[in-house]
Structure formats: structure tokens, C-alpha cells
Structure 1
Amino acid sequence: MDRDESWRVIAEQRLSLADLLESLTEVEWEAPSLCDGWRVRDVAAHVAMASQPPGAWFMVREGVRARGRFHRLNHDVAVRHAGRPTSQIVGELRDFAASRALPAVTNYRNVLFDILVHGQDIAVPLGRDRPMPLDAARAGATRVWTMGWPFWARRRLRGVRLVATDTDWTAGEGAALHGPTDALLLLLTGRIAVALPRLSGPGRDHLAGRASAGRGHAP
């Protein structure tokens, strides 16, 4: 997917996520997401902030506050933003859906898989169906496989060959693991416990022992 097509999908996903969030009850907003230690509200705030990134001085201040721990910074900033009314978070997703603003440390390829995966972080534990666009899921899987930090997918999945069953995509070497691209993307980003039941092949046994660590984090 090229840049313009990726941004088009990102905008569509932001708008559809806003629709989903608007339908949630107060209890569902407070429910745990797939991200360990993150509520649905926190993940929604994180996604809403991605389209309106803070300035450099804000990040420096928050970095000091988090003692240099990136994931702590990410979590704490999202939780504070999540304290806003849910209607405001939904409104931000809609108002900035077409924004191409980027935080200094990322790019549109990361934003694409970010919105896809975090949509699942919200939808799956609530039992909501949220299909991923196939081309976007494939682009996201390729990006995560090649990027290293923070997922280190090639290292974590060493000895496994990932094979998509719904498109022409494969990665890695070793015991074959077959499944739909969206499930493979969740696996690549650390959502092992959720992804594994949808996958098959010898590689499944290779990963089964790691399923207890199958929750994710906000990248």
C-alpha cells in the first residue's frame, strides 16, 4: 500500500472506531482491553492522541516524569488523556480522522498497523466484530515483521514460518503456522493468546507455551 492509500485506510479506521466507541456502555469503556494494564478508555485515548501529537517539550517533560521508560510514558499520557469525557474522545477521533500529523518518532506505516491492532484491543474483549481490511493487515504484518523494536517479532517467533491463508504473505523459517492475516498481525504484535486459537500447523505447538504472555501493549 502506498502512502495515500494507507492514510485513506487510517481515516476510515478512525471513523469506524469512533462509531464503535460511541455504541459502548459506561461499563464497557472501563473494561480491560487486550493491552495489559490498559482499559478500553485508555486505548481509545491513545488512538485519539495519535492524530494530534504533542510537541517536543511536552515529550521531554513526560520522559523525565516517566524516568526514561517509554512504555510508562506512553501509558501515563494515555491514561491522563482518557480522563476526558468519552464523547470528547469520540469527537477527537472524528475531527482528526483525516489528519496526517505524525509524532516525531513514527511514520504512516506504523500508524496504519497501530489503528488496526488497537481496534482489536478494544473490540475483541468486548465481543465485538471488527474486520481488518486485508491489504492493510498484510502491509501491517510486513511492517511489524521488519521493524524490530518494540515487538522484536523475528526474534520472538524464531523457528516458525508464518503463512497467511487469505492472501499471498509469508515470513520466517521453520515449523509452519497458518492463519488469516489479521490473526498473524495480532500474533506479531504480541497478542499470542488471542491469535493462537485462530492459527493451525506445527508452529502452533511451538508457541503454545508462550500463550500465557499473550496480552499486548500500546506501541
Structure 2
Amino acid sequence: MTLSDLLATAARDALAFADLLECLAPAQRQAPTPCAGWTIDDLATHVAVVCFRDAEAFHRARIQTSTPPGELTLVNPDLPDAIRLGVAHLRAAFDQAPDRWPVIPTPFGEFPVAAALRSLILEFGVHLDDLKIARGDRRPTLSPATVDALFGFGELFLLRQAQPVESRPVTLRLTAPSKSMAITWTGTHWVAGAGADEHRVEGSDDTIARLMLRRVAADDLVAAAIRPL
């Protein structure tokens, strides 16, 4: 995908989230979501913050600063409008794009521009799915673009979400038709790739993606090792 394709995909999912949110009554927006402890309004606030804050990171890259944007607090905003403003801010960065993008100073580290956009596709695609589930859709499917973004990060995503476990060395391997990923607990820390007896989990692309995000039931090792997004 070109940068224009990646930008369009991220913007599409963020705007779809805003449109769906706007259709909900205030009482509906207090419903729980797949993000533990968050209501729909909590989730929407998070999406609005990420949208505007990460858009700012692209603008900072344009002036070649390595300082990432800080925390952003929204006080009683019109959340659908805040998300749309964030998308406009993101698009504006690309309307004034440099001839060659430097790395993007996101709050989670510096990323090449395509990887930073894929992070937004992942963020907005996953939370659009969370919103659909929270409003009662029990048979949603992560978009192909969201799954591609997640699998594109692959083991790096698993390492980012991994946490220490009480276990002997073990390799956790997740296998879908389009991707197989493995990380290994050495007994003290996690590393990419295989290196110990394998604990294998197989499933469809959607199932393995949801398992990586901790949006479906997980066995004991996955539940202990991988934090939900």
C-alpha cells in the first residue's frame, strides 16, 4: 500500500467510528466495551485523543523535531467532532508533506512513516470493531487492513504486549493461514523467534488477530503473557 492508501484507510476507520458513535443515544454510550473498565464514551475519548495526538506527531516530523507530543486531555468534548478534527489534522500533515519523511516521533517511539500509519490503522480498526461489539453486533470481523497491519508488526507487537510469566523457557507460537509468529520466554525475558519447546495455537486470521489483541478467550499461557491492546 502507498502512503496515500495507508492514510485513507486510517482516516476511513476513524471517521466510521465517529459516524457510528454519533448514532448512539447518551445512555447507550455508557455501555461497556471489550476494553476492560471502559464505557463507549471512554473508548471514544481514547480514539479522539489518539487521533489528534498522533496527527500532531506527523506535523512534528515535518519540522524535523524528535520530541513526541505529550498527553492530551479532552474536557466534555463533542467526541464525534473531536475525532473528525483529528482526522483533518492528520490529513493536513500529508497535504504539506516533506519530499522525504523523517521518522515520526510517536509517544511509543520513533517509527518510519508507513509503520506509524499502520499503527493508526491498527488502533482505529480494532476500536471500530470494539464499538460495533459494544453496541450489540456479535458477529463483527476485523477488516483485512486491520489484520494486515497487526500481522505486519507480528512478533514486534507480541513483544510490546508481552509481560513476565512464571514459567520455564517456552516458545509461544501463534499460527494463522497468512502468518506464523513466535516469541520465546527465556526464563527471565521475552525474545523474538523460537528457542524452546513450543506452545502452539492455531486458528483463522481473524481468530489469531483477536487472540493477539486479547479480544477472544485465551488459554492460560496466552492470558498470562499477552496484555490486551
Instruction: Report the TM-score, using the length of structure 2 for normalisation.
Output: 0.61
Would you say 1:143 and 2:177 are equivalent positions?
no
C-alpha distance in structure 1 between counterparts of 2:90 and 2:142, whole Å? 17
Tell me the residue number matched to 2:107. Answer: 105
The number of residues matched between the two structures is 184
C-alpha distance in structure 1 between counterparts of 2:226 and 2:176, whole Å? 20
Tell me the residue number matched to 2:207. Answer: 183
The verdict on how the C-alpha distance between 1:93 and 1:28 changes in structure 2, with shifts beyond 3 A counting, is farther
C-alpha distance in structure 2 between counterparts of 1:169 and 1:144, whole Å? 8
Tell me the residue number matched to 1:163. Answer: 175
Structure 2 unaligned regions, length at least 5: 58-66, 95-103, 109-115, 183-193
C-alpha distance in structure 1 between counterparts of 2:92 and 2:164, whole Å? 31
Comparing 146-155 and 110-119, the one that deviates more? 146-155
C-alpha distance in structure 2 between counterparts of 1:214 and 1:126, whole Å? 26
Structure 1 unaligned regions, length at least 5: 63-76, 197-203
- Write out per-residue CA displacement over residues 138-168 of structure 1, whole angstroms, 9 at most, x where no aligned residue: 2213315314664128989x53322224xx2
Residues 79-158 of structure 1 aligned to structure 2 (within 5 Å):
80-81=73-74, 83-89=76-82, 91-92=84-85, 95=88, 98=91, 104-105=106-107, 107-128=116-137, 130-147=140-157, 150-152=160-162
1:9 to partner: Cα distance: 1.2
C-alpha distance in structure 1 between counterparts of 2:2 and 2:164, whole Å? 24
C-alpha distance in structure 2 between counterparts of 1:149 and 1:209, whole Å? 14
Comparing 121-130 and 23-32, the one that deviates more? 121-130
C-alpha distance in structure 2 between counterparts of 1:152 and 1:213, whole Å? 5
Tell me the residue number matched to 1:74. Answer: none
The verdict on how the C-alpha distance between 1:110 and 1:34 changes in structure 2, with shifts beyond 3 A counting, is same
Q: Which has the higher contact order (CA 8 A, sep 6+)?
A: 1
1:136 to partner: Cα distance: 3.5
The verdict on how the C-alpha distance between 1:147 and 1:131 changes in structure 2, with shifts beyond 3 A counting, is closer
Q: Which has the higher helix share?
A: 1
**Code of the aligned partner of 2:45:** A
Q: Which has the higher strand share?
A: 2
Larger radius of gyration: 2
The verdict on how the C-alpha distance between 1:19 and 1:88 changes in structure 2, with shifts beyond 3 A counting, is closer
Other structure's SS at 2:37 match: coil
**Sequence identity (%):** 20
Tell me the residue number matched to 2:228. Answer: 216
Comparing 111-120 and 178-187, the one that deviates more? 178-187
1:48 to partner: Cα distance: 2.0
C-alpha distance in structure 1 between counterparts of 2:30 and 2:2, whole Å? 36
1:130 to partner: Cα distance: 4.3
C-alpha distance in structure 2 between counterparts of 1:154 and 1:188, whole Å? 16
CA RMSD in angstroms, aligned pairs only: 3.8
C-alpha distance in structure 1 between counterparts of 2:11 and 2:35, whole Å? 23
